[in-house]
Structure 1
Amino acid sequence: MEQIDLTTGSLNLSQLQNIFRIIPQEFDFIDEKDIIRWYSNNSERIFDREPSALNKHVLDVHPSKSADRIIKLLDQMHNGTVNEQVMVIPAKGKQIQISFYAVKDENEKYLGCIEVTQDVSHLVGKTKLGHMADLIKKRFSKGSS
């Protein structure tokens, strides 16, 4: 199988596909014309993607209520004023972190962006005190059984 040479090593296509299959985050690559060119597909996907999403404008596969925010963000990424944006939104009964990262070549030419989505429900609202309280509760619940 042909190797894909990367800056820090090489992988074959099967290895690369299976890496993205097991990573619980979902990835969507949106090119410099705001067209979806690739997405990861794993069992942990929060927002379903079908092959029919490929080669469509990013606004065609996102809810219309987010269109204004997406347009603004992509404009900022195109003109270089923003290189990343991270937000947490409630969706599907979970707290979902959606991160956008501008993808640029070595000359800072904008190539597109990667959208990374993951469930962070287990992290949201937790402080050191909150984590300590959870540990104490677990300790006492084990001791009382």
Structure 2
Amino acid sequence: MTDAVKLPPAQAVQFPSGTLSFEQLLGLFQTLPVDLTFVDRDDRVAFFSEGPDRVFARSRAVIGREVKHCHPPKSVHIVERIVADFKAGRESVAEFWIDLHGKFVHIRYFAVRDAAGAYLGTLEVTQDLTRLRALEGERRLLEYDRPQT
């Protein structure tokens, strides 16, 4: 986990569906089983989640960096096309899946728009689906998955 910034309890974000404190938001982002990265309308990395099992390591040094400088050169043209398509309103979702070091990784990009449909940025959601792909049958009773000691 990361070093949390401590804000007074009064610092909260009011959403249409409820209110969360900064500490609760940070905890949510650190708990989600997905990696989130938000690129703003100017194509700069504005935010990424810092969970314990990130698929792609991120350094805080990427904040403010152009997104095209955060990908391998051979995939920059794809990133640029996704962003251009999102900005133009031609597309809203781009999806990929790859085998990466024995993991099945699912990567989705979403256009983020305001209520009027104006482009606000791009959300990248990455998840290691290896364990989920291996599930079979059903589990209807409570059983915790913990390493055996």
TM-score w.r.t. length of structure 2: 0.81
Aligned twin of 2:23: 14
Q: Does 1:63 align with 2:72?
A: yes
Q: Does 1:87 align with 2:96?
A: yes
Number of aligned residues: 129
One-letter identity of the residue aligned with 1:108? G
Indicate which of 122, 128, 131 corresponds to 2:136.
131
Structure 1, unmatched stretches of 5+, are 133-145
Q: Distance in 1 between matches of 2:93 and 2:103?
A: 22
Q: Distance in 2 between matches of 1:25 and 1:92?
A: 18
Deviations 1:20-45 (A, max 9, x none): 10112000000011100000001010
Structure 2, unmatched stretches of 5+, are 1-8, 138-149
Root-mean-square deviation (CA), in Å? 1.7
Which structure has the bigger radius of gyration?
1
One-letter identity of the residue aligned with 1:47? F
Structure number with the higher helix fraction is 1
Q: Distance in 2 between matches of 1:113 and 1:92?
A: 26
**Correspondence list, 1:1-145, <5 A:** 1=9, 2-124=11-133, 131=136
- Once the two structures are aligned, what percentage of the paired residues are identical? 27
